[in-house]
Amino acid sequence: MTIPATPIWDPSRPTAGRVTTTWLWRSMLVLVLLAQLSHLGQAPLWLIGAAAAAVLWRLAATALPWPVPRRWFVALLAAGIVAGLRIQVGQWFSQEFGTGLLVAASGLKAAESVGRRDLLVLVVVVYLMLAAVFINNEALPMAVLVLGLACLDTIMLVQLQQHPSLLPWPTCARIALVTLAQAVPVALICFILFPRLPGPLWGRLPQQHEALSGLSEEMAPDAIRSLALSAEVVLRAEIPDDMAAETLYWRGPVLWDFDGHTWRQGALSQGTDTPAPRTLPEKAGQGWQQTIIIEPSGQPWLLALDVPLASDVPGSTLRDGSLRNAWPLWQRRRYQALSVPAIAPGTLPATVQQRALRLPQAGNPRARQLAQRWQNQPADRVIQSARHWFKAGHFQYTLEPGAAPTQDSVDAFLFDTRSGFCEHYASALTFLLRAAGVPARIVTGYHGGAWNPWGHYVLVRQSSAHAWVEAHVDGRWLRLDPVAWIGITDGGRLDLSGNRGAEDGPMLHWLMNDAGLVQRLALGWDAIHTAWNDWVLSYGADRQRATLSWLRLGGLSRQEIAMLMVVMVLLGVLTLDWLGSVRWTRSHVVSRRYGHFCRAMARRGCPPQPWEGPVTFAQRAATRYPDLAGAIWRVTNAYVALHYGPSPGPDEKERLLRELSF
C-alpha cells in the first residue's frame, strides 16, 4: 500500500497570524519566552533552546502567513524531548524532569496555538513555570523577576477576559494590580498563620549529582585551599558587640587519626555524642550567645564560636566539643548557640589520650628527631619550643605551595619548602606535639569574618576556612594557631583590625579594606538578602512561634492557629466581597437607567450596536431622530460623566442621575 506524502506543515489549517489581534499574540508569546528564560541554569540548556525556538517561530508567524504544525508532528517532537530529558536526568519522577516537561510544554503549546482558548492555556502555563522557578532558585532578585512576570501574566489574563473587545494597556494594568493588591492581605494571613513543620518554608534536597562545598570529616592536601579560593557564604551570625576580632574561631569537625597523608575524624568519635542542652541562660558568665543563619552544606555540623555548650536546635548533640545537627544540612538553618572560650578542665581518659598521641609507625623521620629533643619536658615548654621553631624558621604562608609529596609530607614542609597554608601548619604542629608526648588534635572551621554594619552581623565566607590545633595542657584543651605565630598579614587573613574580620586574596582584601563605596553597597545588598532569607525563606516553625508570641498568640495550638487562619481569610474575603457589592450597587443604578434609554431607542428602531460606544451611538441616534437630539445628548453626557468621569459630589450626582432619566 502506498502512503501518500503528507507535508509536515498542514497548509489547509488556519494560518497562525490571522486568528486574533496581532499585538495580543506577540505580547503573550514574549511573556512565555521570558518565563522560559527564567529557568536558565535550572533546566537543560538544549531544552530551553528548543522551547524558545518554538516560541520564536510562532512569534514570526504573527507577521508571516505560516501555518501551524500538525498535531502528529507536535506529538513527535514531544516524544523526542521526553526521551532526551529522561536520558539526561536519569529518572522519571524528579523535580528536574517535571520542570523540564513544563518548559517543553510551553514551547510546544505556543507553536500550535490558534485561538483564545490556547492563549488562556498559555497564561496558566506561565503561572506554573513561574512557580516552578522557586524550586531551584529562591534568591531575592529572582523573586522580584517572577513577581514582575506574574503581574504581566495577570494583565494578559484581564485582557483575554475582555476579548474580542480589547482594553487599553493602562486600564488592564490597573485592573490587574488592583486584583493582586486585594489578594495580598489574604496571602499575608496564610503566610503568617499556616501551620509549619520544622524547617524552612521552601527548600529541596540536593540531587545525587550535586555537590555542596564546605568542611568535611577529613582533611587531605588542598582540602582547605579549595575552600579558601571560594567566596561562597558559609554563615551570618549576630554576636556580642564587645567581642574582639581575633576570637572569631568558628568550630567545625575535630580530626584525630593520621595515616601519613590525610587527617580524619575517625570511627572512635562516632557514638561519643552527648545531647546538647536546649536552654540558653540569659547570663552565661564568660559565655557568648550567637544567633546564626548557616547555609546548606550537606554536613551535620552546626558551626559556633570556640566551644559551644548549648543550642536551641532540637536533637542537636556535642561531639569533641563541636555542635552537630541530627541530620545533614540540606537547607538554610537559623539557630542560637552558647559558647565558651575553652572546654572545662578535666582528666583525659586513657583511651582518648592514646588516641591523641597516636602516629603512624614510620615516616617523617626528621620531624620525629626534632620532637625527641622536646620529650620529657612539660607540655607548656614543648609548645614554647614549637612556637620558637616556627617563628625562627622563616616560614611563609601561601596558597600555592606546590604539589605535596606522597611520603614524609611533614618533613617536606618543616625542613624543605617551609611554605604552605593553614592545613600544612596545623598538620605539622600536631605531628610534632604528638611525637614529643603532648596529646593534640586538629580542629577545622573558619576564622574571622566581615562585619556588616547594615545588618549588624558577621558574614563568614568559605575564603575564611581555617585549621588550628588543640593541645591538652594542664587538664584542658588549649587552642594553638601556628599561622598566627608567624605573624601572617598578607591577604588580610589574620590582620583583623579595623574590619572585624578579613578575607583571602588581593581582590577580596581590596573590597574589604580599600573599596569603601563598593564595600558598603555589597554589604547593604547582603543585609537585604539576609532579611529575605530570614523572614521569608526561613520562616519555619521556630520563626512562626516567635512571630505569634510577638502578636500575643504564642499559647495557641496548631489546630487553633489553623482555625484562626480560616476565620481571618473568610472575614477578608467577605470584606472584599462587600466592598465590591457596594461599588457595584452604586454603578448599577447608572447602568440600569442607561439600559432603559438604550431599550427605548431600540423600540424606536435604533438599537445600539456591540461595537459602538456611548458617544458614537448618540451621534447616530441624534442624526436619525433630530427632534430627540437634546434628550439623547443629555442622557449620554450624564452617563459618560457618571460612568467614566471622576466621582462627583452628592448634589452633582443627584443632578446627573435626574438628567439620566429618558
* Phi, psi (deg, nearest 5) at residue 237: -140, 135
| pLDDT tens-digit series, residues 649-660 | 778 878 888 888
Phi, psi of 450 (to 5 degrees): -105, 125
pLDDT tens for residues 548-602? 888 887 777 777 777 888 888 788 777 766 665 555 445 567 888 888 888 899 9
Q: What is the pLDDT of residue 281?
A: 53
Kindly tell me if the per-residue pLDDT of 336 is higher than 60. Answer: yes
pLDDT at 496 over 50: no
pLDDT (average), residues 265-276: 74
Predicted pLDDT at 504: 39
Using pLDDT thresholds of 50, 70 and 90, give the confidence band for residue 26.
confident
List the grid coordinates of 548: 505569634
Across 75-84, 194-203, 210-219, 567-576, least confident range: 194-203
Domain boundary among 167, 189, 218: 167
Helix (H) or strand (E) holding 233: strand 233-238
Rounded to an integer, what distance in angstroms lies between the CA atom of residue 419 and that of residue 488? 12
Q: Is 557 left (phi over 0), alpha (psi -120 to 50) or beta?
A: beta
- C-alpha span between 630 and 622 (Å, rounded): 8
**79-83, 207-211, 257-261, 387-391: which range is least confident on average?**
207-211
* Residue 307 maps to a domain: no
481 is catalytic: yes
Minimum mean pLDDT range among 26-35, 49-58, 286-295: 286-295
Provide the grid cell at 621.
Answer: 441616534
**Is 327 a domain residue?**
no
pLDDT at residue 116 in the model: 81
Q: Which three cell numbers stand for residue 413?
A: 614542609
Share of the chain above pLDDT 70, in %: 82
- Given 153, 306, 320, 481, which residue is catalytic? 481
**Of 148, 167, 186, at which residue does a domain stop?**
167
Q: Which of 39, 424, 447, 466 is catalytic?
A: 466
| Beta sheet of 322-324, edge-to-edge order | 274-275, 317-319, 322-324
**Span 288-302, average pLDDT:** 89
φ, ψ dihedrals at 473, nearest 5°: -130, 130
Q: Worst-scoring range by mean pLDDT, 63-77, 142-156, 348-362, 595-609?
A: 63-77
Residue 24 domain flag: yes
pLDDT over 90 (residue 511)? no
pTM of the predicted model over 0.85: no
With helix as H, strand as E and coil as C, how does 459-519 read? Answer: EEEHHHEEEEEEEEECCEEEEECHHHHCCCCHHHCCCCCCCCCCCCCHHHHHHHHCCHHHH
Mean pLDDT across the chain, nearest whole number? Answer: 79
| Range ranked top by mean pLDDT from 179-193, 281-295, 578-592 | 179-193
Q: Is residue 644 part of a domain?
A: yes
- Higher pLDDT, residue 195 or 595: 595
Residue 542 — φ and ψ, nearest 5°?
-65, -45
Cell of 575: 470584606
Cβ-based neighbour number of residue 215 at 10 Å: 24
* Catalytic (active site) residue 306: no
Average pLDDT over residues 628-639: 90
Residue 523: predicted pLDDT: 81
Least confident stretch, 261-265, 558-562, 638-642: 558-562
Integer Cα distance of 354 and 375 in angstroms: 16
Pairing of strands 304-305, 249-255: antiparallel
Domain presence at residue 527: no
Mean local confidence (pLDDT), 293-314: 89
pLDDT tens string 343-370: 767 788 888 889 999 999 888 999 999 9
Give the pLDDT band (50/70/90) at residue 153: very high
**Burial class of residue 3 in the structure, from the number of CB atoms within 10 Å of its CB (0-12 exposed, 13-18 middle, 19+ buried):** exposed
CB atoms within 10 A of CB 487: 11
Whether 256 and 457 have beta carbons less than 8 Å apart is answered as no
Residues in the chain: 662
pLDDT at 224: 59
Residues 6+ apart with CB under 8 A from 189: 565, 568, 569, 572
Q: Are 333 and 539 contacting, i.e. CB atoms less than 8 angstroms apart? A: no
Asked if residue 258 lies in contact with residue 360, where contact means CB atoms within 8 angstroms, the answer is yes
- The C-alpha cell at 173 is 494594568
- Among 126, 144, 167, the domain boundary falls at 167
Per DSSP, helices labelled H in 164-299 are: 169-193, 223-228
Handedness of CA 288, 291, 296, 298 (dihedral sign): positive
Residue 594 lies in a domain: yes
Range of the domain at 610: 589-660
Catalytic position from the list 422, 504, 526, 542: 422
81-93 pLDDT tens trace = 888 888 887 778 7
Nearest to 509 by CA among 551, 463, 576, 552: 463
Q: Is residue 599 part of a domain?
A: yes
- Is 216 within the bounds of a domain? no
Core vs surface per residue 46-66: b (16+ CB within 10 A) or e: ebbebbbebbebbbebbeeeb
DSSP code string of 613-655? -HHHHHHHHHHH-GGGHHHHHHHHHHHHHHHTSPPPPHHHHHH
Residue 245 or residue 187, greater confidence: 187
CA quadruple 17, 21, 23, 28: dihedral sign:
negative
pLDDT given at position 494: 37
Binned at pLDDT 50, 70 and 90, residue 164 comes out as low
Write down the pLDDT at residue 199: 46
Q: What is the pLDDT of residues 426-483, one digit of tens each?
A: 999 999 999 999 999 999 999 988 888 888 899 998 888 889 999 999 888 999 999 8
Active site residue 509: no
Domains identified in the chain, total number: 2
